[in-house]
Amino acid sequence: MRWGMLINLVKCVGCYSCVVKCAQEHFLPPDILWGRLLIAETGSYPSAVKQLYPVLCNHCKEAKCVEACPTKATQRREDGIVWVDADQCVGCRACLISCPYQVRTYYSKEKAYYPGQDLTEFEKLGKALYPHQIGTVSKCNFCMERVDEGIKHGLKPGVDPDATPACVISCPAKARYFGDLDDPDSEVSVLIRKWHPSPFNPELGTEPSVYYVVG
């Protein structure tokens, strides 16, 4: 089993739903984003074309961040999910430097969404349900809590919303797909064979688990 994601850039409309939903799902502090949307333009007027690239941790099979971590805080599970154990992270940022996709963030100090005012209900709830530790690195974990809890209750990730990453179920354009890359019959595997997508920078040899359909 190896969890992976397929993102169809043809369908992506750049609405930022994936970015916002990820921040909401994990109670991310200000300036911390696990998923981002990169925007560029190609061509020139009047034929310029906007290019949208949603990026997140690629959960690489040969993860450079796992190799670089001196405390084994960054780990790769048997199902392919790469995650960070904050209790073991010492904030050295070796993983951040070694990640070729630049999708990790160092939480340097506590910030409030509205400095000088009381914390919002979102921030208060986050401190209780999903506390983030200052001085540690964090990143996308494929919503492993949702995946694990869903499987525990007999749900199927990629099929049942409660067991699927939040960015996938929140995408209004249905541009994201999630499933088991090792299962030839999973939706994501079938679509990979159909659309022939590619991961970002495959020449790096990290064997990413996130694929993109570019057209």
CATH number at residue 206: 3.30.70.20
Residue 215 has pLDDT above 90, yes or no: no
Amino acid identity at 101: Y
What domain range is 10 assigned to? Answer: 3-213
Q: What is the pLDDT of residues 161-200, one digit of tens each?
A: 999 999 999 999 999 999 999 999 999 999 999 999 999 9
Indicate the pTM of the whole model. Answer: 0.94
Residue 206 has pLDDT above 90, yes or no: yes
Residue 140 has pLDDT above 90, yes or no: yes
Q: What is the pLDDT of residues 146-167, one digit of tens each?
A: 999 999 999 999 999 999 999 9
How many domains does the structure of the chain reveal?
1
